[in-house]
Amino acid sequence: MTRPIGYYVHHHGDGHRQRAIAIGQAMDRPVTLLGTGLSGRSGDLPCIDLPDDRLDDSFAGVDGTDRPPALHYAPIDHDGIRRRVAALTQWIATARPALVIVDVSVEVAMLARLASVPTVYVRLNGKRIDRPHLDAFASATALLAPFHAALDEPDLPPWVRRKSFHAPTIVTPVSDAHVAPGDHILVVIGRGGAPSDGERWAQAARAMPDRPWQVIGPCTAPADPPPNLSLLGWVEDADRRIAEAGVVIGAAGDGLLASVLAHRRPFLCLPEPRPFDEQGSKAHRLAALSAAVVLENWPDPAAFPRHIAKAQAMAACWPDALCEVGGAARVAGWIGALAQQSDIRKEV
């Protein structure tokens, strides 16, 4: 009997959803996405749109209450969470999945295990060695680390590393990797934070008037933009634009980083604050591997020519540790083998 797989999708940012669709579409068994706001956004995969668990639209991950030390988020008397738990466990009871992939939530991982389902926990970058994360890692059958092994935290517990399957570039770039890059500078703003400050990019562009600057993603309009700065807003071909860029500037989000690494573009990285230092951790590893120029703070505009020249020099000597080929098919094969083991246990 071939049983389905459930894939829980966190609703912050868009990387979790893109990763889930890529893996689900590569699987040779049914996959159902589980999460909030998935209706009409799950590709060709079925989904269960779960009631929202947020206290407000900002979702800072703060629940305002005491909680057991094994949990990250457990607000009291929240009707959405009650209905969310009921919907998840109802789907598990009805579908009887071979396993559930959790991307990401300590609470959902523990709920699935309490409901007698093996889990694969998606282990993101960062300093995730607090008790809730370690308990979720320990309870999982395996851990999926969607990044190069070389980007892992040096002080990661050895048992966590041994349990991890590293899988870079799950969401495969759609652009031709052999496209000839241009000379322009591309600034990429993701979905995970507030709109970027257009005045800052105007100052940076003025410091390099001989090179075109393009900004994609949410950005405020500067009062007096220089002629070499273009604000393009949201675009549907971000990966192609990254492949064609002379230099890419942006944070250390999963989607941007995967595309930059796949196309081996010169990268000026400005990591943004994230829980568990997720972006800072990736940025520090990139710097250690000489794969990016990392700036912890906004630089003086006059320093941009120097930083960009350094990023271009780095990209000419690409580190071997970041050359591993990834892809969703490789992950699907690994997950399929784990699900097969679950099927065999069920038959026995």
| Cα gap 114→95, rounded to integer Å | 16
Does the CA dihedral 136-142-145-146 come out positive or negative? Answer: negative
Which stretch of 60-74, 135-149, 282-296, 299-313 has the lowest confidence by average pLDDT? 60-74
pLDDT at position 62: 74
For 219, which DSSP code? B
Would 5-171+326-347 and 185-322 be classified into the same CATH topology? Answer: yes
130-171 pLDDT, tens digit per residue, is 999 999 999 999 999 999 999 999 999 999 999 999 999 898
pTM of the model: 0.92
Q: And the tokens for 163?
A: 């349990």
The neighbour count for residue 235, using CB atoms within 10 Å, is 13
| Cα gap 314→139, rounded to integer Å | 41
3-state secondary structure of 44: coil
Q: Where are the domains of the chain?
A: 5-171+326-347, 185-322
Q: And the tokens for 154?
A: 């040096």
pLDDT at position 121: 98
pLDDT at position 27: 98
Q: Which residue has the higher pLDDT, 253 or 205?
A: 205
pLDDT band at 175 (very low <50, low <70, confident <90, very high): low
Q: How far is CA 238 from each of CA 152, 154, 219, 233, 319, rounded to the nearest angstrom?
A: 26, 32, 15, 11, 24
Q: Which CATH architecture has domain 185-322?
A: 3-Layer(aba) Sandwich (3.40)
pLDDT at position 60: 59
The neighbour count for residue 56, using CB atoms within 10 Å, is 7
Q: Which residue has the higher pLDDT, 60 or 331?
A: 331
233-289 pLDDT, tens digit per residue, is 999 999 999 999 999 999 999 889 989 999 999 999 999 999 899 999 999 999 999
| Superfamily covering domain 5-171+326-347 | Glycogen Phosphorylase B; (3.40.50.2000)
pLDDT at position 324: 81
Q: What is the mean pLDDT of the chain?
A: 93
| Cα gap 102→146, rounded to integer Å | 13
Measured at the CA of 252, the angle between CA 247 and CA 256, to 5 degrees, comes to: 60
pLDDT at position 57: 67
- Taking alpha carbons only, the member of 171, 248, 246 closest to residue 217 is 248
pLDDT band at 58 (very low <50, low <70, confident <90, very high): low
pLDDT band at 61 (very low <50, low <70, confident <90, very high): low
pLDDT at position 178: 65
Examine the pLDDT at 299 and tell me if it is beyond 60: yes
- How does DSSP assign 139-199, residue by residue? HSSEEEE-S-GGGS-TT--HHHHHTEEE---SS---S-TTPPP-S-EEEE--SSSPPB-HH
By the 8 A CB rule, do 75 and 85 touch?
Answer: no
